[in-house]
Structure 1
């Protein structure tokens, strides 16, 4: 059964949606922009720096589910100006092993939230990872004397 999760470190979505949806097979993370991460982000941040900060936030969210970039199978990107795709690509590639890039779509969306230049959504596979209910110790945790 899917879990619908709102990250307490991010502002609550102002739309009917969740930051993450997690099931036994996948983790889906809703589109994140620089505006979603913090209110005090300078409007002068370029596409490369916005991409870096959004990717770091996505990485933090993946780690919460004990996943990493090698588990990401699909990424959807919206850029406010598609002419800046080379700036995005330079940073984006830093987060993945060369030759192991997820399937990706990138479109121009000139009306992103606030001064955001990039929005990134992803899907990661939980293959090989047994899902345990919240509060249940994992097999690698010390559960004390039996």
Structure 2
């Protein structure tokens, strides 16, 4: 009996505090097809409440599974343009980004990545960020960036 009362109390507290999955609203799976084909086994973005989780973007030319030329700088420009395109397809822009995770095939190219990345934001208004070296990015990419945005 004590166990049942404890479970009921915990369930009532969860509902009262708004921590149930239903409190944040339905989950939306978004695929604009403007960067990658929509038949790939992931969503371009997933929305939960006011939070938008963008899948990682590599520097592929939109509509193709071919990387932009120009090494890390060229791929970074394309990555950022792909993120921008994806956000705009869903009514947002780069100012909606709150967190980015950067994966670099060669962490020594971090400075070159930053030189391009920072041009996409207003000075002093950068998303929170993490970066790390990664082995084996899709299509042999030099960089991949995934982001979280807030509506």
Quote the residue 1:135 is aligned against.
none
**How far does residue 5 in structure 1 lie from its aligned partner after superposition?**
1.6
* Larger RCO (CA under 8 A, 6+ residues apart): 1
Rg bigger for which structure? 2
**Count of residue pairs the alignment pairs up:** 124
Quote the residue 1:39 is aligned against.
65
Quote the residue 2:104 is aligned against.
79
Aligned-pair Cα RMSD in Å? 1.8
Q: Provide the TM-score with structure 2 as the length reference.
A: 0.74
Quote the residue 2:84 is aligned against.
59
Name stretches of at least 5 consecutive residues in structure 1 with no aligned partner.
127-146
Name stretches of at least 5 consecutive residues in structure 2 with no aligned partner.
1-25
The answer to which structure has the higher helix fraction is 2
Q: Is the 1:48–1:91 contact (alpha carbons within 8 Å) kept by the matching residues of 2?
A: yes
Q: Provide the TM-score with structure 1 as the length reference.
A: 0.77
**Pair 1:86–1:13, CA change in 2 (3 A):** farther
**How far does residue 41 in structure 1 lie from its aligned partner after superposition?**
3.5
